[in-house]
Structure 1
Amino acid sequence: MTVVRAVRAEDLEAVAGIAAHYVLNSVATFAETPQTVAEWRERLDDLERRGLPFLVAEVDGEVAGYAYTGPWRPKPAYRYTVEDTIYLAPGHLGKGLGTALLGELVERAAKAGMRQMIAVIADADGDGSVALHRRFGFVEAGRLDGVGHKHGQWIGTILMQRALGDGTEE
């Protein structure tokens, strides 16, 4: 049975393990050093302070993937725009977990008052991510060629965007 729920502190070791797999073995993330559980705890605390969602997909009691939204850019004018992050544990791809996570993430980010969601997808192996985001109404907003260098190769990014709602007017 699959359950999508808010992350708990006890999930962070599994989250760190999933993330480390992609950091060390792929170009899906431009991170080059895996984050510690303590660093993940800091991220969780920051997202909770901001009222932004951080979710896990649990399959038969095991964390099989995670997703969260974080600030798109640090400047205050961007405060209603978030960037999504979704990663699935090896062995759990192609089972609908990405769909479940992104659907819940979009819903919760909109409820949190966010107006736009941005996806930044590595252009080297991001076909599945692009397709997933398209299913949720994301459209391509641009491409940046050769902006990252990892594992001996230059990698571009695909930028996708989706409106969430009106956000908070000031």
Structure 2
Amino acid sequence: MPLNTATKDVPTRHSTDITIRDAVIEDIPAITAIYRHHVLHGTASFEEEAPDATEIGNRFRAIRDKGMPYLVGIRDDEIVGYCYASTYRPRTAYRHTVENSIYVAPDCVGQGVGSLLMVALIERCEAGPWRQMVAAIGDSANKASITLHQRHGFEMIGTFKKVGYKFDRWLDSVLMQRPLGEDSPVIPKS
């Protein structure tokens, strides 16, 4: 699916004062700022240098060009969080599995933004050809992300111990998974 910068045909989700919609290229500066904060101050991402808007734009296009969802949460005309589903692994046998990513603006953490984004992302993925969603959560101490995923039907699969090194300490990577759609995925047609 080519990149669509129009929003007129994009369904939205409303909850109190937050709207969830498809991200557009004009959202990249705000997305970059949110991600930059998490790279520089947190362990949700194992990146150590924050990518610039050009790189985030390239990543955005790569996801959208594959027809995968990339969403933003808006409050008072400001992006307060974003999420997307990306290819889990490049080999074709994995084509019905996606990996999720969710980032919330630092001043909006704990306000339900992540939960709204998660619901919208799961719904969008269930409407597509994907049957499993996985999460690779940076840092086993990231209880907020682990709890968010559990609340939305993810189960703990395992933990890779001390696989990342950031901020002068070793970090775990927590793996979680949930089915999309039916519990027993239909065998896809070629």
* Superposition TM-score, scaled by structure 1 size: 0.96
1:1-170 aligned at under 5 Å gives the runs: 1-165=17-181, 166=185, 168-170=188-190
My pick for the range that moved more, 124-133 or 82-91, is 124-133
2:118 counterpart letter in structure 1: L
Contact 1:120–1:159 (CA under 8 A) maintained in structure 2: yes
Which runs of structure 1 show a deviation greater than 4 angstroms over 4 or more consecutive aligned residues? none
Pairwise CA RMSD: 1.2
- The residue type paired with residue 109 of structure 2 is L
Deviations 1:106-152 (A, max 9, x none): 11111121111001112343101111111111000111000000010
CA distance in 2, matches of 1:119, 1:38: 25
Where 2:108 maps in the other structure, the secondary structure is coil
**Alignment partners' CA distance in 2, 1:45 and 1:123:** 28
Contact 2:83–2:118, Cα closer than 8 Å, also in 1: yes
In structure 2, C-alpha distance between the alignment counterparts of 1:57 and 1:111, rounded to whole Å:
20
Q: Quick one: distance in 2 between partners of 1:123 and 1:44?
A: 24
3-state SS of the aligned residue for 1:5? strand
Task: Name structure 1 gaps, 5 residues minimum.
Answer: none
TM-score by length of 2: 0.86
Is the 8 Å Cα contact of residues 140 and 174 (structure 2) preserved in structure 1?
no
Identity %: 38
